[in-house]
Structure 1
Amino acid sequence: MSIDVWPETAPTQILLLTLAFLMSAAIGIERDIRQKSAGARTHILVGMGSALFTLVSAYGFSHLIGGDVVLDPSRIAAQIVSGIGFIGAGVIFVRQNVVSGLTTAASIWVTAAVGMACGAGMPVIAGLTVVFYLLSVTLVTNLVRRLPRHDRSEHYIVRYTDGRGILREILGAASQLGYETRLVRTRRLAVSDGFAVDATMTFTRTQRVGREQLFEALHELEGVLEIRTVTEEND
């Protein structure tokens, strides 16, 4: 059996693999900017791997076709779809009913689809998918956050200076505004002038007090460095 090192389709294959690299990198860089567990490297590898599997399925066995040999290129694509779920599941965490990593897992799944589309010779559809992905995690996300909510709970990550009793003051301020507070988890990290704590907290309203008043009250506490919503941190 002779091996054709440089087949006629090689330039097309190289172009499609390169496009898969670039499009996967666009999704991964967005995740890196948001400091998620799976960043540019992971997404690039997922996208290129999916593209390469698809290219092998489409071009790698062409010399075997003929006679009684029948190939089904869609079989490899189907295995990619099921196999990528293991990677996506690895970035999803559940802690005390707070789910994190769902958007990152979905972005890995979309990246695999983008790589497959590139490998199958559909770069325009793949590029459009990347555009829609970026719109969904920017414009659509900002729009959804502005919609009125009926949930009486507010979910924040409060960053405060460690070792000064700030957590006690946070709980006291929330209690004065009529909020019941539940501490989900804490994470200690180094900052420029010492150490800080990221505390994921749930504030449940027991009175008619708006979230703006809670947000302002927490910001006014000396030692509170930053407040983020859980959706901004845990997607």
Structure 2
Amino acid sequence: MQIAVITGGSSGIGQATAFELAKRGTGVILTYHGSPDRGLETADRIEKDGGTAIALPLDVSNQRALSGFRKAISAALQDRWGRDTFDFLVNNAGVGQPPVPFEETTEQLFDQMIGVHLKGPYFLTQTLLPLIADGGSVVFTTSSAGLLTSRPSNGYSVYGSVKGAQVVLTRYLAKELSTRGIRVNAVAPGVTRTRLGGDAFAQHPELIPPIADNTALGRIGESEDVAVAITYLLSPEARWITAQTLEASGGYDL
């Protein structure tokens, strides 16, 4: 059985990816941070549906927690699957931000975005690299906001910058990890209904129609739309794909 580690797997895109991979027979180790209940409920649902899953706590921005997390991963692999390695790492954990003009951007916000979206996944991947099996795969959940083809939106200079950095990191890691046959790719969602931003679309449904009108396929994205893209990049069908960023936006802002 192949095994995936998914950060931020208790809700949104990470949760949908956990369900999709489990449905295809992959064992899942998912992480949660803000909501232990949702993390444990996600793992429990996978188990009830016939899959195997474990939920572990992790704050990706806390560098001091990484060595302990690696030990927890090693213990889980041995205890549950009798393995020393896992096959897939999905760097998905993230945090949203309200629009903040460049002039009003604080160092605190800047450091938070860097810690969660760049420094965290960078050093988490480094920490877990000895546990990733040769021939494995890494996927980053970035954002269409970080693509050079996207139209910048006011107030997101930090978020767009760190997501763009993930795109660049994807290419560099793909080069360095290729000696072990490990593929590294990214998925760039467009506007997607998740719990980020204070569950904004549930709180403000009036935001949906104008976004849908500006999307070629006529709706906003759902977590499941992105999950199947991530799952594809992890699959054998994508065996000749590395160093790529796949935009999954339904044609937003075409």
* TM class, shorter-length: under 0.3
The TM-score normalised by the length of structure 2 is 0.21
The TM-score normalised by the length of structure 1 is 0.23
